[in-house]
């Protein structure tokens, strides 16, 4: 539709229409944003980069600021998208000049977004009166602090798309046929909220690196902040930079960061059978900071080494939050996030987010405090006072209370129940009703997360997905939800990995699944260098090299998706002086039959398999102890089993390892 006066008039008339609407929860009128407090509807002519569109802005009670942008009727594709936020929310992440957002309008999608119900990307909005004005005397009162917690947690992500659909109906003359959700990080958490709590609103959900639960992810962040104190030059409130990635005098990657990266990547890069500068699945690597990192001489702080306290700190960060008895509260940090890059104007230290989470401490000092303290501790809260034996449960139980003057009612809310799409637990589980209703209505999810994410542990996504697989069934889950774990990718950064190569291919796969029934399987990942691509497989499958010898490792055609293998070696103590046989039990994840993958060419540390049989869902391979090459004695010796799967005419390389005790010494050649 070409620009015309009638288009502009139709758009601008929406201001009056929206002003006459009310919210779904409280039946309060839709208003405008300060200072005018009137709903706006404005027509924008096309530019060189953005197609013409109509924009409606306003406020849902009490402070959910929203924006709805709509291409012309002629361009509309009969679908719509709702976009999520990030961090603590606090702004509308929907700049029409953003390349992706402009592209979405050009594809014919109208879209909506909100600020989550407050202003500012931190937790200050959650502080109730009178404490709010005590901390910040120059600000206006904050009478709806508790409601803002609920709104950020879930209500804003229902009210906004519900209102947007009414606007679409008025503007286009009909509701969208398909409605999609798109969000990453906190927006990913909000997508998990939509799929459980607001499943009736959406047909497809496209999410990346979801925080899962806001209370949960902040609890892990506090744990990391506390345990990274040995990397601080001085203890400060709030916590300050860590010497791992700054050094004592400034931005110096070679002070410690490179030593950490090198130690992890040297040990873990080849665990998948391919040395390519990327760690495929960091759970497969047996890395111990206590023994695998260089110790500082005399345990004195220095460059390119780690004191005992620093190595213990990293061990705790990788493990994740737990109490003094070892009971795990939540997921820890995965290996592989230690990469750093050097683009101008400064270095990008990915692992810095695992040592200093600037979002996390707000959860206790401002938000979920009422079971620990009698008043919010505020900006001067010292995280070192957090009691890991008692305070995590008190965070789970924290509440807030809201008074509503329009009807005189008061409501009390459990904060974690309102803000967390997943449980603060290990394993991680759904926290807002589960995903069965969304699946039952035909909804689909495409979900990706980088293994090398340092801000939001990738184990959040993996543990949640595995819990749903167990609860709903493997095939039932895979029929509506695909998880793609991306090696080497950080939080909002390609890192050293290969995120999905384009929004069109990722979101486009969701659209084809929803609208045409084309179930996605392999996707293509692309590194910062567009010539370097790799296959991405639906979890738990992994990409394994199946190309010609010497072929490119950055050509996705040279890879095949296969289930990962696990190896268990018996006996647990192997005597190298023995001429006996040891056994490798090779299994694949539940839901796969190892007989389907034509396993072969097995060897273990130079020893060829002498016999192999199937038993249940395992392949049992026998090896001669005397055939081992280069194996020496030790209490924890890693033995690697390598082989192949034959898949659709492709030979995919597979390998896995187990750690056992090895005694004795292999007899020397020519001696008895």
Domain 5-213+426-526 -> CATH class: alpha beta
Q: Which DSSP symbol is given to 123?
A: S
Number of Cβ within 10 Å of residue 518's Cβ equals: 11
Determine the Cα–Cα distance for residues 169 and 439; give it in Å rounded to an integer.
26
Predicted pLDDT of residue 358:
92
Closest by Cα among 127, 156, 157 to 61? 156
Where exactly does CATH 2.60.40.10 map onto the chain? 566-663
CA angle (498 as vertex; 180, 336 as ends), nearest 5: 110
Architecture of domain 566-663: Sandwich (2.60)
**Residue 255: its pLDDT value, please?**
87
pLDDT category at 653 given cuts 50, 70, 90 is: very high
- If you average pLDDT over every residue of the chain, what do you get? 94
Q: Where are the beta strands (DSSP E) in 467-605?
A: 481-486, 523-526, 533-536, 542-545, 559-562, 566-570, 573-575, 581-587, 600-604
Query: What residues are paired with 207 via a beta bridge?
Result: 183, 447
Residues 571-576: contacts with CB under 8 Å, at least 24 apart:
571/660, 572/660, 572/661, 573/660, 573/661, 573/662, 573/663, 574/625, 574/660, 574/661, 574/662, 574/663, 575/625, 575/663, 575/664, 576/625, 576/628, 576/631, 576/633, 576/662, 576/663, 576/664, 576/665, 576/666
Distances (CA, A) of 154 to 85, 425, 478: 12, 20, 26
Q: What is the pLDDT of residues 241-256, one digit of tens each?
A: 788 777 777 767 778 9
- pLDDT given for residue 109 in this prediction: 96
Contact between residue 525 and residue 519 where contact means Cβ atoms under 8 Å apart: no
Segment 616-629 shows an average pLDDT of 96
How far apart (Å, rounded) are the C-alpha atoms in residues 546 and 650? 6
| 1 pLDDT tier (thresholds 50, 70, 90) | very low
DSSP code string of 470-508: HHH-HHHHHTTEEEEEETT--SSS-TTS--BS-HHHHHH
162 — pLDDT class (breaks 50, 70, 90): very high
317 and 224 Cβ atoms separated by less than 8 Å:
yes
Q: Which two tokens stand for residue 168?
A: 């679409």
Among 201, 177, 164, residue whose Cα is nearest residue 55: 164
| Average pLDDT value for residue range 297-311 | 96
CATH 3.40.50.1820 maps onto the chain at 5-213+426-526
Check whether 671 has a pLDDT greater than 60. no
pLDDT of residue 102: 76
Whether the CA torsion 434, 436, 441, 447 is positive or negative: it is positive
Residue 266 has a pLDDT of 97
Map tokens 């737990």 to a residue. Answer: 322
Least confident of 97-106, 148-157, 292-301, 459-468: 97-106
pLDDT digits (tens, 9 = 90+) for 286-300: 999 999 999 999 999
**Interatomic CA distance for residues 167 and 82, integer angstroms:** 13
Per DSSP, the three-state class of 575 is strand
- Terminal-residue alpha carbon distance, the chain: 91
* For helices 214-227 and 186-197, angle between their N-to-C axes, nearest 10 degrees: 150
Query: pLDDT band at residue 97, thresholds of 50, 70 and 90?
Result: low
pLDDT at 6: 62
- Does the CA dihedral 625-627-633-638 come out positive or negative? negative
């Amino acid at each position: 539709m070409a620009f015309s006066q009638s288009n502009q008039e139709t758009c601008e008339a929406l201001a009056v229409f929206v002003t006459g609407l009310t919210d779904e929860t409280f039946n309060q009128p839709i208003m405008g944003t300060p200072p005018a407090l009137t709903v706006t509807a404005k027509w924008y002519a096309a530019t060189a980069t953005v197609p013409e569109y109509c924009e409606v802005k306003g406020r849902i009670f009490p402070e959910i600021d929203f924006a709805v942008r709509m291409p012309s009727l002629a361009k509309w594709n009969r679908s719509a998208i709702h976009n999520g936020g990030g961090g603590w929310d606090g702004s509308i992440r929907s700049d029409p000049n953003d390349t992706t957002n402009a592209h979405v309008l050009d594809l014919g999608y109208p879209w909506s977004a909100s600020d989550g119900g407050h202003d500012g990307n931190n937790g200050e909005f959650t502080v109730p009166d009178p404490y709010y004005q005590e901390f910040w005397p120059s600000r206006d009162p904050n009478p709806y602090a508790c409601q803002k917690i609920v709104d950020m947690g879930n209500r804003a992500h229902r009210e906004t798309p519900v209102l947007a659909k009414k606007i679409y109906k008025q503007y286009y003359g009909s509701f969208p046929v398909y409605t999609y959700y798109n969000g990453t990080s906190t927006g990913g958490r909000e997508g998990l909220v939509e799929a459980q709590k607001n499943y009736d609103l959406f047909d497809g959900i496209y999410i990346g690196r979801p925080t899962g639960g806001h209370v949960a992810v902040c609890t892990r962040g506090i744990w990391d902040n506390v345990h990274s104190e040995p990397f601080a030059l001085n203890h400060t409130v709030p916590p300050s930079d860590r010497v791992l990635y700054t050094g004592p005098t400034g931005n110096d990657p070679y002070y410690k960061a490179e030593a950490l990266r090198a130690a992890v990547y040297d040990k873990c890069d080849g665990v998948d059978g391919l040395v390519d500068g990327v760690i495929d699945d960091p759970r497969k690597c047996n890395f111990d900071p206590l023994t695998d990192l260089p110790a500082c001489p005399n345990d004195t702080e220095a460059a390119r080494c780690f004191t005992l306290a620093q190595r213990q700190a990293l061990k705790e960060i990788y493990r994740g939050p737990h109490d003094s008895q070892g009971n795990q509260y939540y997921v820890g940090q995965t290996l592989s996030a230690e990469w750093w890059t050097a683009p101008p104007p400064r270095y990008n230290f990915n692992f810095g987010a695992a040592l200093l989470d600037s979002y996390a401490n707000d959860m206790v000092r401002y938000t979920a405090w009422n079971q620990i303290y009698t008043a919010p501790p505020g900006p001067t809260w010292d995280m070192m006072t957090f009691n890991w034996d008692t305070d995590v449960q008190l965070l789970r139980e924290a509440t807030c209370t809201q008074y509503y003057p329009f009807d005189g009612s008061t409501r009390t809310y459990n904060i974690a129940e309102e803000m967390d799409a997943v449980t603060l637990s290990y394993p991680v589980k759904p926290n807002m009703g589960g995903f069965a209703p969304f699946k039952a209505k035909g909804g689909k999810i495409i979900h990706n997360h980088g293994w090398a994410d340092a801000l939001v542990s990738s184990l959040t996504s993996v543990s949640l997905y595995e819990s749903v697989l167990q609860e709903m069934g493997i095939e039932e889950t895979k029929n509506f939800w695909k998880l793609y774990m991306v090696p080497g990718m950080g939080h909002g950064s390609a890192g050293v990995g290969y995120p999905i190569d384009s929004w069109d291919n990722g979101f486009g796969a969701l659209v084809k699944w929803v609208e045409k029934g084309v179930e996605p399987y392999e996707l293509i990942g692309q590194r910062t260098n567009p010539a370097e691509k790799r296959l991405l497989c639906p979890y738990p499958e992994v990409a394994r090299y199946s190309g010609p010898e010497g072929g490119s490792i950055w050509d996705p055609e040279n890879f095949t998706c296969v289930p990962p293998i696990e190896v268990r070696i018996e006996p647990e103590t192997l005597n190298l002086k023995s001429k006996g046989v040891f056994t490798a039990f090779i299994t694949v994840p539940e839901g796969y039959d190892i007989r389907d993958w034509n396993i072969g060419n097995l060897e273990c540390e130079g020893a060829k398999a002498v016999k192999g049989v199937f038993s249940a869902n395992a392949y049992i391979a026998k090896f001669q102890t005397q055939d081992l090459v280069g194996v020496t004695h030790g209490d924890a010796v890693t033995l690697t089993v390598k082989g192949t799967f034959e898949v659709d005419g492709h030979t995919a390389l597979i390998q896995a390892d187990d750690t056992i005790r090895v005694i004795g010494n292999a007899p020397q050649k020519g001696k008895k």
